[in-house]
């Protein structure tokens, strides 16, 4: 299905993309998986249509030809079954990368993720490690309507026992996987569907690289724009627009949604005294709520204005473009919220 996402046509895009120094999220994630598969026999990729089809979004295109159907393993439509099998294989010492086609379908595997992956280590008194990496596409923006447009990062970020990552840059798309696989605990990686085709220059291999700290992608004085993943480009564009307008916005990219890097967030707010949190998930009880609450706890006396939340509208995402656009954060909404914050 996903393959029909206009924005995510794996088969057409790669061809048309300049293959020189430019690269895309899709290619970087594929390169990361390829490297992991080459480096460690225990690593394998499992999910619906990851093999012959190349992945619903074409992320694993070509891998089955190189690594074979055993390590690039197509699964039946059985989300709870194959995610649980990935968890079990990890318990047995493998390093599975389990791809859930989209976060929408991950609800069918949530029992396995919460009650087993996140819980086995503790229930067993430290005996059972679950070094599994679960990748899933998230987000709206391609007119896929109510059952294919969720952003449930906030729920996963609330589960003790797992690590949750949300790459928003090509470098993170490329280099977050290795440390995730090295983590003895379960790691969930969210890939925003609208980023797969995002291109840019290939990032150099970083000297040191962590998956725990947030990154300040742009420094500013007047307001902190805090976001991650698919919203990051919009936030950077908003910061640009605000600058043109004399408002100096700092952009904090969370990168890790669990654990949250409260120190970096608080430090930024301590500098700017104002915060806007941008997350595509539903506003009530979403990730933005936690970040707003944290800021109010960590930087209460630094805040000069209420924390602004720019979130998804609380509707099952509608199909028509004009309504979908209205349902998820747009650059203009971020700019407006920042203006309210700076008063």
Ligand X SMILES: Cc1ncc(C[n+]2csc(CCOP(=O)(O)OP(=O)(O)O)c2C)c(N)n1
Please give the residues from 299 up to 338 whose contact with a second copy meets the rule CB under 8 A: 300, 305-307, 309, 314-316, 318
156 Cα distance to chain centroid: 11
| Active-site residue set | 79, 148
233 binds another protein (CB under 8 A): no
DSSP string of 28-49?
HHHHHHHHHHHH-TTEEEEETT
Minimum distance from CB of 122 to ligand X (Å)?
18
Q: CB of 270 within 8 A of CB of 259? A: no
Q: Which residue in the set 86, 220, 286, 329 belongs to the binding site for a second copy (CB under 8 A)?
A: 286
Q: Which residue in the set 110, 129, 233, 305 belongs to the binding site for another protein (CB under 8 A)?
A: 129
Closest-approach residue to ligand X (CB): 1
Q: Which residue in the set 38, 263, 293, 323 belongs to the binding site for another protein (CB under 8 A)?
A: 323
List the beta bridge partners of residue 23.
200
Encoded tokens for 264: 């970096």
Helix (H, G, I), strand (E, B) or coil at 266: helix
Which one of ligand X, another protein, a second copy, none is in contact with 307 (Cβ closer than 5 to 8 A by kind)?
a second copy
Count the alpha carbons within 13 Å of 313 in the hemisphere toward its beta carbon.
Answer: 13
Helix (H, G, I), strand (E, B) or coil at 224: strand
313 binds another protein (CB under 8 A): yes
Instruction: Tell me how far apart the alpha carbons of residues 85 and 117 are, in angstroms, rounded to a whole number.
Output: 11
Task: Write the CA distances from 317 to 182, 280, 304, 331, integer angstroms.
Answer: 36, 11, 34, 18
Q: Which residue in the set 38, 39, 123, 293 belongs to the binding site for another protein (CB under 8 A)?
A: 123
Which range touches a second copy (CB under 8 A), out of 38-46, 107-115, 171-179, 222-230? 107-115
Binding residues for ligand X, rule: CB under 6 A, are: 1, 48, 77, 79, 101, 105, 108
- Closest to a second copy by CB, 69 vs 320, is 320
Instruction: Tell me how far apart the alpha carbons of residues 158 and 138 are, in angstroms, rounded to a whole number.
Output: 17
Minimum distance from CB of 191 to another protein (Å)?
18
Interactions with a second copy, residue window 225-244 (CB under 8 A): none
Minimum distance from CB of 141 to ligand X (Å)?
17
285 binds another protein (CB under 8 A): no
Interactions with a second copy, residue window 161-180 (CB under 8 A): 161
Minimum distance from CB of 88 to another protein (Å)?
2
Which one of ligand X, another protein, a second copy, none is in contact with 241 (Cβ closer than 5 to 8 A by kind)?
none
The CB density around residue 114, as the number of other CB atoms within 10 Å, is: 17
**Is cis: bond before 66, omega within 30 of 0?**
no
Instruction: Tell me how far apart the alpha carbons of residues 98 and 33 are, in angstroms, rounded to a whole number.
Output: 11
- Closest to a second copy by CB, 62 vs 320, is 320
Minimum distance from CB of 208 to a second copy (Å)?
27
Beta strands in 25-151 (DSSP E): 43-47, 72-74, 95-102, 133-138
Give, for 226, the enclosing helix (H) or strand (E): strand 223-227
Instruction: Tell me how far apart the alpha carbons of residues 269 and 291 are, in angstroms, rounded to a whole number.
Output: 12
Please give the residue ranges that form the binding site for a second copy (CB under 8 A).
80, 104-105, 107-108, 110-111, 114-115, 118-119, 122-123, 145-147, 150, 154-155, 157-161, 258, 260, 282, 284-290, 292-293, 296-297, 300, 305-307, 309, 314-316, 318
């Amino acid at each position: 299905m996903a393959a029909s996402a206009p924005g995510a046509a794996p088969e057409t895009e790669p061809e048309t993309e300049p293959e020189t120094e430019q690269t895309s999220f899709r290619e970087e994630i594929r390169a990361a998986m390829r490297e992991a598969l080459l480096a460690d026999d225990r690593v394998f990729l499992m999910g619906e249509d990851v093999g012959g089809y190349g992945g619903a979004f074409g992320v694993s295109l070509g891998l089955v030809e190189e690594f074979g159907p055993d390590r690039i393993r197509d699964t039946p439509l059985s989300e709870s079954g194959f995610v649980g099998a990935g968890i079990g294989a990890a318990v047995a010492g493998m390093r599975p990368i389990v791809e859930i086609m989209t976060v929408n379908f991950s609800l069918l595997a949530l029992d396995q993720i919460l009650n087993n992956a996140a819980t086995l280590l503790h229930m067993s008194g430290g005996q059972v490690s679950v070094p599994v990496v679960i990748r899933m596409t998230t987000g709206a923006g391609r007119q896929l309507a109510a059952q294919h447009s969720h952003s449930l990062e906030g729920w996963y970020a609330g589960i003790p026992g797992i690590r949750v990552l949300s790459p928003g840059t090509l470098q993170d798309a490329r280099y977050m996987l290795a440390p995730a696989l090295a983590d003895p605990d379960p790691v969930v990686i969210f890939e925003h569907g609208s980023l797969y085709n995002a291109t840019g220059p290939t990032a150099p291999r970083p000297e040191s690289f962590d998956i725990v700290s947030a990154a300040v992608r742009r420094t500013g004085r007047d307001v902190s724009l805090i976001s991650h993943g698919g919203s990051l480009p919009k936030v950077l564009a908003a910061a640009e627009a605000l600058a043109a307008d004399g408002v100096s916005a700092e952009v904090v990219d969370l990168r890790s949604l669990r654990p949250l890097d409260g120190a970096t967030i608080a430090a930024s707010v301590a500098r700017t005294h104002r915060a806007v949190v941008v997350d595509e998930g539903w506003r009530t009880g979403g990730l933005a709520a936690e970040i707003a609450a944290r800021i109010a706890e960590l930087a209460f006396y630094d805040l000069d204005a209420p924390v602004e939340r720019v979130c998804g509208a609380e509707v099952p995402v509608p199909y028509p473009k004009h309504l979908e656009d209205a349902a998820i954060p747009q650059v203009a909404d971020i700019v407006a919220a920042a203006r309210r914050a700076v008063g």
